[in-house]
Structure formats: C-alpha cells, structure tokens
Structure 1
Amino acid sequence: MSFAEKLAQVAPTGGRVRIFSHYAAVAWLLPMSRAAIALALQAMLRALPEGKACATAGVDLHLVDDAVMSAANRRFMDCTGPTNVLSFPGGGDLPGILLFSPDTLARECLLYGQEPGLHTLRLLAHGMGHLAGLDHGPDMDRQCRACLAAAQKIVAAHDAGFSGA
C-alpha cells in the first residue's frame, strides 16, 4: 500500500498535515520518516474529540533547531531556552501549529534514556492535546494517551523500523 493510500485510510475526511523543515540537520535527527510522522499526526487528529478546530483544519508541524525554539519560547511563553514542543491553536480554517525541536528531542533521549521514536510520538501527542485546547491535568493526560495509541498503531504498521509500539 502506498503512503497516499495509507494516509487516506487513516484520515479520509480529517484535516491536513503539513511538515516544514527549517534546517538541514533535521534529516539525521528525526528517528522516523517524515511520512511516518505525517501518518502519526493524521491519526492523532482523528483521535481528538469532534468539533475541535485542529481536527478539521489540520496541523502544520515546523521542525526547528534550538535557536529558533529558544526565540519562540522567549517571545510567546516568556521562558528562557529551548523546549521540545510548542503549540499554537488554529481556528476556523487555520490549522494548529506545532513547533518541534529535534535538537531537544535528541538531548532528552540521551539524558533520560528515552527511545527516540516513542518520545517523538509522546511529544507530538502532548502538543496535540494543547491544540485541542487542553491544559495540563487528567483530561490532557487522557487525550495524550488516546493520541499516542492512535499514532503508535499506524506508525508501527507503516514503519517496520519503529520500536515504540
């Protein structure tokens, strides 16, 4: 089955997923293919409650380095330094936006012994929870688990090299 067929199977009527890379090193820092990440995000969109704007409008994932993430974290969150993922909910026809730092992902995997593919999906699920309008707490935890489970299922079927299922 082709990538397009798998994507159509996961989200025949869901929002679109676009991935933008803003630096060259992302090619060797990502623990899974961009196609697998797109499938995972489509599955996560379908796992969101009906009526959430990002579930229909989609999500734009921007892969950024720590310098860009630090600047965004300072400007929008009034925090110093890089973080792993930042979420900016969309609305109407505007997709939600996720900023994701593969630099921070790699560092966290080394520091905390995280499996990179699974940690990627956890961070994206966390970002999707915020795109759905949730703050940290039990509802967010439930939504993140639902997004993660949906993503793991489709990524494992797509990417035989993925060990996080």
Structure 2
Amino acid sequence: MSLELCYETEETLDLPYEEIAEKVIAACLAAEHCPFAAEVSLSFVDDAAIRSLNREFRNIDRETDVLSFPMLEFEAPGVFPEIGEEDKNPDTGEVPLGDIVINVGRVKSQAAEYGHSETRELAFLLAHSMLHLMGYDHMEEAERLCMESRQRDILDGLGYRR
C-alpha cells in the first residue's frame, strides 16, 4: 500500500497525520480483504476548498467533513473487481483506489462536538472514506447500518473507540 499525502491548508492538527492514516488505511484494506496492492491519495484542506469541491462534484454548496473519490466500480460493497495490468499505476504496480479529502477544521470541531479526541475523529473520517472507496454507501438505511458496523469494527480493532 502506498499513501500520497497533500497539505492544502495552513490549518493543522497536532497529530501524526501520516502514521494515523497509514494505520487506518491498512486496517481497512485488510478488513475488506483487498486482493491487490493499493494506492490512496489523501489531502487535507480548509472549509473553502472542501466547499468548492462539494459544490463542483456533488452540487452541494456547503462545507463538509470528508469527500471520497473512488477510482473503481464495485458491484457490491467490498467485492473487489477484477484488476488488469491496465488498471495499475505503471510506476508502482499498485491499483489507484481513490482520493480522500479531509477538512481539518471539521476534524477539530467534530471531535469537540462528539466528545472524543481529534485522533479518533481523524481515524473515523479515514475509515468512513476508505469504505466509500471500497464500494460502501449510506444512502439507504440497510447500507448505513452495514457501513457503520464495518467502521466500528475497524476502529475498535485499532483501539479508536468513542
């Protein structure tokens, strides 16, 4: 697994971003039995940047906490598609799984709102987004319950409990 990190905001968290991201992403890939080496791009942005992306890609003109941009099509959550050489990054041999964009300000405010650490909030947003990259969604009640259960299992397994 490889992780490409990009910081597009001056606002920061006093956290080991890369260590947390690598730990959560690897746990998600393992929990879902990802059959290939994957690449994930992770960007940290501010309210204005995520609002712009949300407006452009989802037609929703407001800030959000995290956005996920999957690169693969899934028939069902966690059921990975067949991968050919053409699907792999020719430089790394890994499969680009997708992009995650996290709003740093929301990590802070939501951690305070939910009464847990910024580390736990960042881990939650990463797990949530990784599941989106692997075909999960929460538009229907059954999908939401399944996705929440997977998130909880992954985070609990890493010691990130509420």
Is TM > 0.5 for Structure 1 vs Structure 2?
yes
Gaps of 5+ in 1: 1-14, 154-163
How many residues were matched structurally? 135
**Structure 2 CA distance for partners of 1:148 and 1:112, relative to 1, 3 Å:** closer
Larger relative strand fraction? 2
Checking the alignment, whether the CA contact within 8 Å between 1:57 and 1:96 is kept in structure 2 is no
Identify the residue that residue 8 of structure 2 maps to in structure 1.
22
Q: Which segments of structure 1 move beyond 4 Å, counting only runs of 4 or more?
A: none
Measured in 2, the distance between the counterparts of 1:146 and 1:37 equals: 17
Q: CA deviation at 1:97?
A: 0.6
Identify the residue that residue 130 of structure 1 maps to in structure 2.
132
Q: Which amino acid aligns with 2:3?
A: V
Q: CA deviation at 1:42?
A: 2.0
Larger relative helix fraction? 1
Measured in 1, the distance between the counterparts of 2:9 and 2:119 equals: 20
Q: Which amino acid aligns with 2:63?
A: P
The percentage of aligned residue pairs carrying the same residue is 27
Identify the residue that residue 45 of structure 2 maps to in structure 1.
64
Measured in 1, the distance between the counterparts of 2:112 and 2:55 equals: 25
TM-score (norm: length of structure 2): 0.72
Identify the residue that residue 42 of structure 1 maps to in structure 2.
26
Checking the alignment, whether the CA contact within 8 Å between 1:48 and 1:143 is kept in structure 2 is no
**Structure 2 CA distance for partners of 1:30 and 1:85, relative to 1, 3 Å:** farther
Alignment RMSD (CA, Å): 2.1
* 2:54 paired with 1:76: no
Q: CA deviation at 1:30?
A: 4.6
Gaps of 5+ in 2: 73-86, 89-95, 139-143
Q: Which amino acid aligns with 2:29?
A: L
Q: CA deviation at 1:114?
A: 3.1
Measured in 2, the distance between the counterparts of 1:44 and 1:30 equals: 24
TM-score (norm: length of structure 1): 0.71
Classify the secondary structure of the residue corresponding to 2:37. helix
Measured in 2, the distance between the counterparts of 1:146 and 1:96 equals: 22
Q: Which amino acid aligns with 2:38?
A: A
Q: Which amino acid aligns with 2:155?
A: L
Larger displacement relative to structure 2 (57-66 or 133-142): 133-142
